[in-house]
Each structure stands twice: as C-alpha cells, then as structure tokens.
Chain A
Amino acid sequence: MTSPALLAAVGEVGKGFIQERSSDTLPCQADSSKLFCFDWARENIGRYATPTLQQLELVVISVLIGFAIAFALSVFAHRHAWARPPLLAGTGILFAIPSIAFFLLLLPITGRGRETAIIALSAYTLQIIYRNVMVGLANVPDSVRDAARGMGLTDRQILWKVELPLATPEIVAGLRIATVSTVAIATLAVFAGGGGLGTQIYGGGNLSFTTSIIIAGAIAIFMALSFDVILLAIQRLATPWRRAAAA
C-alpha cells in the first residue's frame, strides 16, 4: 500500500514543524552529510518534552488496557478450554496486522486522535500478554493444584491465591515484552494523529534530517529500557521465593 494516504498523513503532521525550522537554519543542519547536528540539538531539545510525555501516556494507557483485556481473556480461557484456540487465533490476527496499516484502517472508523492510537496499540499487546499468562498458569505444578484443591481451596481461591501468584514471572515477562514493543510501535501513533515521539521522527516528511530522528530514537530506547528495568524490579520484589531458590 504505497500511499497517498500515508504521505498525506505525514505531511499534515509535519506542517508546523517545517515552518518553524525554515525560519532559522543552522550551518550543520543544512549539511546533509552530517549525521548529528549538536548545535541544533542544544537549541531544540525543549521541543521533545511534549512528544515524550505523549509517548509515555500512549504506552502506559495502552499496556494497561491491553493487560486488563488479555488478563480477563486468559482467566476465562483457563476455565474454559474450548475458548483457547479461537482466542489464540484472534489475538494472533490482531498482532499480525502491519502497524501503519492498522492505524490507517482505524481512521475512518474512530477518526484521528489519541484514542485511535490507543486502540491499535492495546490490540498489539493482547497476544503477548495473553500467551504469557496462559503459559504461566500452565506451568503451575499439578501437585500444587491437587494439594490446594484437597485442602479445601475453592476454584477461585486456587486461581487467585495459588495459580496467579505462581504465574507472576511469566506474566511480568509478557508485560515487559509488550511494554518494550509498545514503546517502539507508539512512534507510529503519529499516523493516527496520536502524537508521541513519532512527530519528531517522521515530522515534516523530511527523513533526511537525521539529528531529530536520532534524538527521538534515543529517547524511545531510553524509555523502553527504563520500563524494562522497572518491571524487572517489580517482578523480583513480587516473587521472593524465586530469590530464595537461587540463593
């Protein structure tokens, strides 16, 4: 799909950007053989604050929504085995849609804006989180489940007091992958009018100005790594028995 639509979208996003930049051109900015223009970076770093916050919001909201839905689906599928193949297939199809296409396909339905971006981003996390929760629940030893049942825990108590706590490592692993990949995909939210760091990467359609792309990319990488470290720390705090095993 080469894309009048794509170009239109990019063009629209970048309008303000081009005007701003043309008003005051620095020497190294004009030289397209330079990969990174420090002078420009120093003067313009402030313009990344808003896109970064937007990006952060997109990621947090999308992952939370995706987690809530995927978690509910997993708990349902855990009880009802018949639901597993259709759910795996359904979330798999969502996951397989090319990202830009997904954003653009949603435009006529939900319109431009942050909500559209969040819908697409949430949809991408479903498969990863759903699969990991299911794997985590499946890894709970049968003997533990048998003992819990024999001791008089109800099915609900077994799920919440035994199975889900034991599945924590897999669930958090799923959240980490989902979050990191959402940080990456959220840079495309700009095509749905969702803002974020994408505005600084594809902004103006001038993809030969690498300085801005590098800065936005670095922020995205830093954001992804930070989420990863935070979630890893949460996992370690939440699963003290695993540290005991390693010691």
Chain B
Amino acid sequence: MPEARAADDTESLPGASSVRYEGATKRYGGSDRLAVDHLTLEVPAGEICVLVGPSGCGKTTAMRMVNRTVEMTEGDILIGGSSVREREPAQLRREIGYVIQQIGLFPHRTISENIGAVPDLLGWRKDRTEARSAELLALIGLDPELGDRYPVQLSGGQQQRVGVARALAADPLVMLMDEPFGAIDPINREHLQNEFLRLQAQVRKTVLFVTHDIDEAIKMGDRIAIMREGGKLEQYATPAEVLMAPATEFVEDFVGADRALKRLALMRVSDISLWEAPLAYVGQPTAEVRAKLDRDDVEVPYPLLVDAERRPLGWLSERDLGADTVPRQPDSPLGPLLELDDVMRDALADLLQGEAQYAAAVDHEGRIAGVLSVEIISEFLKSPRAKSDEHSAVERPHD
C-alpha cells in the first residue's frame, strides 16, 4: 500500500491532480432528502480514495458529481484547485478517466478503437492514438492481437481490463471507478484488483473508487470514505485507522466483527517472515534431501521440488524419497502458489480453498522465496506484533 505523502506535494503530481470536495451537496428535485449531504474531503494527488457504504448512501452520486454526469445542487468540487463548475462538461470529462461496473465498451468498435476513443475525441493524430492503444494493451497484459477483436469476443475479465485501459488512454488527471470489479467472479476479481494496484503503482493517478464491499475498500484504498444513508460522511481515514479506531457506531457495524481478520488485507506476503522449505532438485540423491529434513531447525516437514531456476514444481512425499534419486514427477501437486505481492487475506483464502497447510511463495521471476503456512498467519494474528504494526500504521503522519 503506498504511503500517504506529505500535504505540500499533494496539489498535483505529473499526470495527477488532487480532488477536493467543498460542501458538495446533491438534492434531487422536489424531495427534502439529500443524496449527498455537504460532503467535504480532499483526495491527495496520486492516491486511491474509496467511497464505500450501503446502497443508497450516495457514494455513486458523490463520485459522479466530479465529472458532472450528476450536477451538484450546492457546494463545489475542485480538481487541482480549479472548480469543475467552470468547465464545459464534455471537455471536463475527457480529462477524467471513467470506468463503470457494466464496462460499457462500444460493441461496434474494436478493442483498439475502444481504447482510442478519448484520444480520438481530443483530436490526436491517428498514428499517435494507435501507438497509445498498443502501449496500453501491453500495460494491461493483453495480447496485442486482441486489439483487432470486438468486445464480444473477449472474456468478462479481459473486457474489464480494456475498460481500465480506455479510461487511462488520454492520461487523465483523475480516474472515477464505479464498482469496476463488481460483476466479476471472486477469483478473477482478486486478480484484477491486484493488477490494478500494480498498475496504479506505475501510473499514480488520483482515483475515486466506489464499492459497497468493505473488504475491497480496505484492500484498494489509500484512504476510505465511509458514507451512510442520506449522503453523510461517517469517517474519512486510512484503512488501518478505520479498522483500529472506527469513528462511529455505524462504521464499527459496517466494518464488521472480523476486524482482526480484515487487517490481513493490509499486508502482503512479503511483509511477514516466511518459512524455509527444504529444497530438492530433480536427480539429486534422496539421501541428501533426507539429511535436510532431519535437521533440528527444519520448519517445513516436506521437501519442495524445484527446477534448476529454483521455480517450485511440487511437493515430494515419503514414497518419492523411497527412490535413490529425486524423481522428475513429484507425488503431490504444488497446490496454491503465492506471490510476494499477494495480499495476506487473499493468500489465506488460497490456502483454505486449496485445503493446504503450506503454500509456496515466489518472487517476480517465479523463484521460490519461502513458504507460507496457516500456522504463520494464526500466530501473527495472536501476536502483539499485529497490534503494534497497526498502531504504527495509524500514527503514520498523513497530514
């Protein structure tokens, strides 16, 4: 999770602007109830602010007031210090990336044309737009050949990636994302979330992200704005602070009783000390492997078979070790494979889903970095370290 930066460089970054709500209010014609009630908050440039709350809390309305797809009734919103009210709406929107749950790709345009839609509106030359489309396809990890396909030929996950690429095409100062991963199945959603966080680490946009899912908010947000019915802001803080010190009873209820578990969403696999597995190479004499297992300080009781590049292949069983040399095919499959960048909560989910005690964790090159076990996680949750980590997170200066 990116560190909160000091305020003096939050007005603008190259390619991102701060977003400041100043008493922004939305009242729908004729009714007394407010959809958004005098919302005041500032999102520093380059950070992800998640607007979260139950349905009807006004989070989407609050987001849409930024690009004026919903016009506010009172108050103002400033992007990089200048009011959105003074801008011509269509012009304003071309500087703001827009991603929605239903994706809304243009069915009659190819993937490349979809990505190039805003550059097209801005009058970019054709070759520049095409180059940008290709660059973004690569950035979101799609095969360049998919550029000539139509949206209907892509999977839901691929379409959502294209939706993000399309929003980034003209290098917007701000991105609005309305439940962008809400319609994706849980496994792919996790992938897309991780991908987006990696992407965000590179592009550093100011993002307003709407979700009703507090877990997603904790995972994605540098800051979380928790809203409740009537468009009231209950708490605006870092995820750690929301978990450790809910400002109101509403926030406490909304965050839920499993706050301890949710803290796992704030950590990555690389943040915890992993166990070391005894490594075995194909063709190695099994006696050598047995010797490693017999050492007193062994943490994982099974040898992990790796290739010459130290990439994990599978776990060796007692039967495998009965042979003279380590076999090419391990007896037990590898099971869940984690990356150091994975969020701990997802890693735990993978362990539970795979009904595995241990999971190999690899670095960016796919080489073994250590082994995560259910035991490590439960020890961590019980330990005072978990608490002290949280406190330091809360006290981290972000003003």
Give the residues from 160 to 187 in chain B that come closer than 8 angstroms, CB to CB, to chain A: 163, 166-167, 176
Contact with B along A142-159 (1 / 0, CB 8 A): 111111111111100100
Q: A151 touching B150 by the CB < 8 A rule?
A: no
Instruction: State the CA gap A180–B150 with chains docked (Å).
Output: 32
With A154-B90, A157-B121, A166-B107 as given contacts, are A147 and B152 in contact (CB-CB < 8 Å)? no
Contact with A along B70-109 (1 / 0, CB 8 A): 0000000000000000000011111010101011111111
With A150-B98, A152-B94, A244-B149 as given contacts, are A144 and B121 in contact (CB-CB < 8 Å)? no
- With A142-B102, A150-B67 known, 13 other A-B pairs at CB within 8 A are A141-B102, A143-B100, A144-B107, A146-B100, A147-B104, A149-B93, A150-B100, A151-B117, A152-B93, A239-B108, A241-B151, A241-B152, A245-B150
- Give the 8 A-B CB pairs with smallest separation, nearest first: A147-B104, A143-B102, A150-B98, A152-B93, A152-B94, A143-B104, A244-B150, A245-B152
Q: List 21 A-B contacts (CB under 8 A).
A: A141-B104, A143-B100, A143-B102, A143-B103, A143-B104, A147-B100, A147-B103, A147-B105, A150-B67, A150-B69, A151-B94, A151-B117, A152-B90, A152-B91, A152-B94, A153-B90, A162-B108, A241-B151, A244-B149, A244-B150, A245-B150
Instruction: State the CA gap A144–B103 with chains docked (Å).
Output: 8
Q: What is the CB-to-nearest-CB distance from B343 to chain A, in angstroms, rounded to a whole number?
A: 29
> Which chain B residues border A151 with CB–CB below 8 Å?
93-94, 98, 117-118, 121, 166-167
CB < 8 Å A-B pair total: 75
> Which chain B residues border A148 with CB–CB below 8 Å?
104, 106
Query: In the complex, how many residues of chain B place their beta carbon closer than 8 angstroms to a beta carbon of chain A?
Result: 30
> Which chain B residues border A241 with CB–CB below 8 Å?
107-109, 150-152
> Which chain B residues border A142 with CB–CB below 8 Å?
102
Q: Does A165 belong to the interface (CB within 8 Å)? A: yes
Q: Does B153 belong to the interface (CB within 8 Å)? A: yes
Interface set of A (CB-CB < 8 Å, partner B):
141-154, 157, 162, 165-166, 239-241, 244-245, 247
The chain A residue with its CB closest to the CB of B109 is: A241
> Which chain B residues border A143 with CB–CB below 8 Å?
100, 102-104
Task: Output the residue of A143, A146, A152, A166 with the most chain B CB within 10 A.
Answer: A152
> Which chain A residues border B163 with CB–CB below 8 Å?
147
> Which chain A residues border B149 with CB–CB below 8 Å?
244
> Which chain B residues border A244 with CB–CB below 8 Å?
149-150, 152-153
Instruction: State the CA gap A145–B106 with chains docked (Å).
Output: 9
Instruction: State the CA gap A142–B118 with chains docked (Å).
Output: 19
> Which chain B residues border A144 with CB–CB below 8 Å?
104-107
Q: B106 touching A162 by the CB < 8 A rule?
A: yes
> Which chain A residues border B100 with CB–CB below 8 Å?
143, 146-147, 150
> Which chain A residues border B109 with CB–CB below 8 Å?
241
Q: A150 touching B176 by the CB < 8 A rule?
A: yes
Instruction: State the CA gap A141–B151 with chains docked (Å).
Output: 14
Instruction: State the CA gap A165–B109 with chains docked (Å).
Output: 10
Give the residues from 101 to 129 in chain B that come closer than 8 angstroms, CB to CB, to chain A: 102-109, 117-118, 121
Instruction: State the CA gap A116–B150 with chains docked (Å).
Output: 47
Instruction: State the CA gap A157–B167 with chains docked (Å).
Output: 18
Contact with A along B145-157 (1 / 0, CB 8 A): 0000111110000
Q: What is the CB-to-nearest-CB distance from B133 to chain A, in angstroms, rounded to a whole number?
A: 15
Q: What is the CB-to-nearest-CB distance from B349 to chain A, in angstroms, rounded to a whole number?
A: 30
Instruction: State the CA gap A147–B98 with chains docked (Å).
Output: 7
The chain A residue with its CB closest to the CB of B114 is: A147
> Which chain B residues border A239 with CB–CB below 8 Å?
108
Q: What is the CB-to-nearest-CB distance from B273 to chain A, in angstroms, rounded to a whole number?
A: 45
Task: Output the residue of B67, B98, B108 with the most chain A CB within 10 A.
Answer: B108
Contact with A along B269-307 (1 / 0, CB 8 A): 000000000000000000000000000000000000000
Q: What is the CB-to-nearest-CB distance from B242 to chain A, in angstroms, rounded to a whole number?
A: 28
Q: What is the CB-to-nearest-CB distance from B162 to chain A, in angstroms, rounded to a whole number?
A: 11
Instruction: State the CA gap A47–B149 with chains docked (Å).
Output: 53
Q: What is the CB-to-nearest-CB distance from B90 to chain A, in angstroms, rounded to a whole number?
A: 5
